[in-house]
Structure 1
Amino acid sequence: MRKLPKRLKKGDTVGIIAPSSPPNQENLQKALPFLEELGLKIKLGKSVDAAHGYLAGTDDERLADLHAMFEDPEVSGIICAGGGYGAARYADRIDYAMIMENPKVFWGYSDITFLHTAIGEYAEMVTFHGPMLASDVGKPEFHERSGRMFGQLFEPFELHYTEEVAPLETIVGGIAQGELVGGNLSLIRSAVGTKFDLDVKGKILLIEDIDEEPYEVDEILNQLRLARKFEEAAGIVIGDFKNASPKKRKPSLTLDQVFNDYFGDLKIPVVKGFKIGHCEPHFSVPLGALARLDGDAKTLTILPGVE
Structure 2
Amino acid sequence: MTFKMLDRRTALGAMGAVAATLATRPAGAAPRPTLRKPPRLHAGDVVGLVEPAGFTDDAFDLALVQDTIRAMGLVPKPGRFVAARHGYLAGTDAERAADLNAMYADPEVRAVFAVRGGWGCARILPHLDFTAIRKNPKLLIGFSDITALHLAFAARAGFTTIHGPNAASSWGRFSWDAFRSLVFEGATPVLANPAGAEDRLVQRSGRIRTLTPGTARGRLIGGNLTVLAALMGTPYLPDFDGAILFLEDVDEAEYRIDRMLTQLALAGVLGRLAGVVFGQCTSCRASGPSYGGFTLSQILEQHLRPLDIPAFQGAQIGHIANQFSIPVGAEAEIDAAAGTIRILEPVVA
Normalised TM-score (structure 1): 0.94
The alignment status of 1:3 with 2:32, answered yes or no, reads no
Distance 1:299 1:150, change over 3 A: closer
Do the aligned residues in 2 keep the contact of 1:171 with 1:269 (CA within 8 Å)?
Answer: yes
The alignment status of 1:80 with 2:114, answered yes or no, reads yes
The alignment status of 1:146 with 2:186, answered yes or no, reads no
Q: Which of 289, 292, 295 is residue 254 of structure 1 equivalent to?
A: 295
Structure 2 counterpart SS, 1:212: coil
Distance 1:52 1:163, change over 3 A: closer
Do the aligned residues in 2 keep the contact of 1:128 with 1:284 (CA within 8 Å)?
Answer: yes
Q: CA RMSD in A?
A: 1.4
Residues 176-227 of structure 1: per-residue CA shift (max 9 Å, x gap): 1011001000111011111113421101001100100101101101111111
The alignment status of 1:274 with 2:304, answered yes or no, reads no
Do the aligned residues in 2 keep the contact of 1:28 with 1:133 (CA within 8 Å)?
Answer: no
The alignment status of 1:199 with 2:209, answered yes or no, reads no
Cα deviation, residue 163, structure 1: 4.3
- 1:127-276 to 2 correspondence within 5 Å? 127-134=161-168, 136-137=169-170, 142-151=171-180, 152-164=182-194, 166-247=206-287, 250-276=291-317
Match of 1:67 in 2: 101
Q: Which of 13, 31, 47 is residue 46 of structure 2 equivalent to?
A: 13
Do the aligned residues in 2 keep the contact of 1:107 with 1:127 (CA within 8 Å)?
Answer: yes
Q: Distance in 2 between matches of 1:115 and 1:65?
A: 14
Count of aligned residue pairs for this structure pair: 302
> Which amino acid counterpart does residue 39 of structure 2 have in structure 1?
K
Rg (Cα) greater in structure: 2
Q: Which of 291, 310, 326 is residue 285 of structure 1 equivalent to?
A: 326
Do the aligned residues in 2 keep the contact of 1:177 with 1:234 (CA within 8 Å)?
Answer: yes
Where structure 2 has 5 or more consecutive residues not aligned to the other structure, the ranges are: 1-33, 196-205
Do the aligned residues in 2 keep the contact of 1:200 with 1:233 (CA within 8 Å)?
Answer: yes
Q: Distance in 1 between matches of 2:193 and 2:164?
A: 19
Match of 2:337 in 1: 296
The alignment status of 1:305 with 2:315, answered yes or no, reads no
> Which amino acid counterpart does residue 201 of structure 1 have in structure 2?
D
Bigger mean CA offset, 147-156 vs 215-224 = 147-156
Where structure 1 has 5 or more consecutive residues not aligned to the other structure, the ranges are: none
Do the aligned residues in 1 keep the contact of 2:155 with 2:237 (CA within 8 Å)?
Answer: no
Q: Percent identity?
A: 38
> Which amino acid counterpart does residue 46 of structure 1 have in structure 2?
R
Do the aligned residues in 2 keep the contact of 1:185 with 1:209 (CA within 8 Å)?
Answer: yes
Normalised TM-score (structure 2): 0.83
Do the aligned residues in 2 keep the contact of 1:192 with 1:198 (CA within 8 Å)?
Answer: no
Match of 1:56 in 2: 90
Match of 2:22 in 1: none
> Which amino acid counterpart does residue 346 of structure 2 have in structure 1?
P
Q: Distance in 2 between matches of 1:306 and 1:205?
A: 21
Match of 2:56 in 1: 23
Do the aligned residues in 2 keep the contact of 1:171 with 1:270 (CA within 8 Å)?
Answer: yes
Q: Distance in 1 between matches of 2:192 and 2:323?
A: 14
Match of 2:74 in 1: 40
Q: Distance in 1 between matches of 2:78 and 2:265?
A: 41
> Which amino acid counterpart does residue 153 of structure 1 have in structure 2?
V
